[in-house]
């Protein structure tokens, strides 16, 4: 039963529950007009303690397309946090007004604290460098829709694998499907953290390799997941400048890739994918953004338990 539950990390959902959500998303994609009143009379609160316009708008668009209403704040200084209110107190108050909440916070575990403090369903919309489960749902829906299945492929994850929360969530979620090979492409300084390597990859006996250069492995990939190397994750400017251009996807590298590769990116991109790549049919990152809205629609319906 998904009704009344919270989603804090991808592993909160069983493979069956994930399938339930993705199947509903498929139905919404096929027939969006069927769902225009699904959440009529319901309110989604978007509690964004740090700005992320893209994620917030995706949630809000999802709720609006379901006929629901939205409220919330989009940065910490416009919220009660500026006056020193705890996350727990804020969510308890919001629960008096809203039916479901999406929370984004710069500190790891903030969404978990929120979910532990209320019976209202809470969706983690990103907690620092930690988890971002709806991005993962987006990625899974995109891969399943474009590849036809969530089994039997080789996925390359490229860029900032240390702080990139979307990568961590995706690896966790994909670890439960069969015959997936992970190729982790990053500079030594930005490799996946030890808890992902030890507790997810090694513990589950998954096939993976860690490499430094995209061009050496791009030909074996079915899915390429690019991430941004974020300036604010670096402690000094020199490191950022030295590394930021190391992992750029351009047509020259793409020449070596499979014809049916799909290229994903959580967006926004800076320069890690050249603009010239956008015209290539393998570029799937804008489709991915659309799938993100559909999967959030499915998730909201499921957690509210308003499916017809």
Contact footprint for other proteins (CB under 8 A): 86-88, 105-110, 112-113, 127-130, 195, 199
Shortest reach from residue 70's CB to other proteins, in Å: 25
Whichever of 127 and 139 has its CB closer to other proteins, that residue is 127
**Are 212 and 185 a contacting pair, CB within 8 Å?**
yes
* DSSP conformational letter for 272: S
Active site residue 165: no
Shortest reach from residue 173's CB to other proteins, in Å: 15
Distance CA 195, CA 172 (A): 11
Q: Which helix (H) or strand (E) holds 60?
A: helix 53-65
**Are 249 and 220 a contacting pair, CB within 8 Å?**
no
β-strands 43-48, 69-73 pairing: parallel
- 3: tokens are 């009704």
Whichever of 113 and 304 has its CB closer to other proteins, that residue is 113
Shortest reach from residue 123's CB to other proteins, in Å: 16
What's the first-to-final CA gap in the chain, in angstroms?
Answer: 15
Strand order in the sheet with 122-127: 69-73, 43-48, 100-105, 122-127
Shortest reach from residue 199's CB to other proteins, in Å: 7
Shortest reach from residue 194's CB to other proteins, in Å: 8
Active site residue 105: no
Shortest reach from residue 106's CB to other proteins, in Å: 8
Which of 3, 40, 54, 203 is the catalytic position? 54
- Burial classification of residue 2, based on how many CB atoms lie within 10 Å of its CB (0-12 exposed, 13-18 middle, 19 or more buried): buried
Cis bond upstream, residue 188 (ω within 30):
no
Active site residue 83: yes
Partners of residue 259 on adjacent β-strands: none
Whichever of 67 and 128 has its CB closer to other proteins, that residue is 128
Whichever of 67 and 129 has its CB closer to other proteins, that residue is 129
Residue 99: count of CB within 10 angstroms of its CB = 20
- Burial classification of residue 12, based on how many CB atoms lie within 10 Å of its CB (0-12 exposed, 13-18 middle, 19 or more buried): middle
The angle subtended at Cα 299 by Cα 42 and Cα 123, nearest 5°, is 80
Whichever of 117 and 220 has its CB closer to other proteins, that residue is 117
Active site residue 132: yes
Whichever of 38 and 113 has its CB closer to other proteins, that residue is 113
Active site residue 55: yes
Mind telling me the catalytic residues?
A: 54-55, 83, 104, 132
């Amino acid at each position: 039963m998904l009704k009344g539950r919270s989603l804090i990390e991808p592993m909160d959902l069983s493979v069956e529950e994930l399938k339930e959500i993705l199947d509903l998303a498929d139905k919404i994609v096929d027939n969006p007009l069927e769902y225009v009143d699904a959440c009529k009379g319901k309110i989604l609160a978007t509690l964004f303690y740090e700005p992320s316009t893209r994620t917030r708008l995706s949630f809000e668009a999802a709720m609006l397309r379901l006929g629901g209403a939205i409220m919330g704040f989009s940065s910490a200084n416009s919220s009660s946090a500026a006056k020193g209110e705890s996350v727990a107190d804020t969510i308890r108050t919001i629960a008096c007004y809203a039916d479901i909440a999406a929370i984004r916070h710069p500190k790891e575990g903030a969404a978990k604290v929120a979910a532990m403090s209320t019976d209202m369903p809470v969706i983690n919309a990103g907690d620092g460098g930690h988890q971002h489960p709806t991005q993962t749902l987006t990625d899974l829906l995109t891969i399943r829709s474009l590849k036809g299945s969530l089994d039997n492929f080789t996925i390359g994850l490229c860029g900032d694998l240390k702080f990139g929360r979307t990568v961590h969530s995706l690896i966790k979620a994909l670890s439960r499907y069969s015959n997936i090979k992970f190729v982790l492409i990053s500079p030594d300084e930005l490799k996946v953290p030890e808890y992902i390597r030890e507790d997810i990859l090694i513990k589950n006996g998954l096939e993976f390799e860690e490499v430094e250069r995209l061009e050496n492995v791009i030909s074996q990939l079915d899915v390429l997941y690019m991430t941004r190397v974020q300036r604010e994750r670096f402690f000094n400017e020199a490191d950022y400048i030295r590394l930021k251009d190391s992992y750029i996807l351009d047509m020259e590298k793409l020449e070596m890739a499979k014809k049916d590769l799909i290229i994903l990116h959580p967006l926004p991109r800076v320069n890690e994918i050249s603009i010239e790549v956008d015209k290539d049919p393998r570029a799937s990152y804008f489709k991915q953004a659309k799938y993100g809205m559909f999967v959030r629609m499915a998730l909201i319906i499921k957690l509210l338990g308003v499916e017809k």
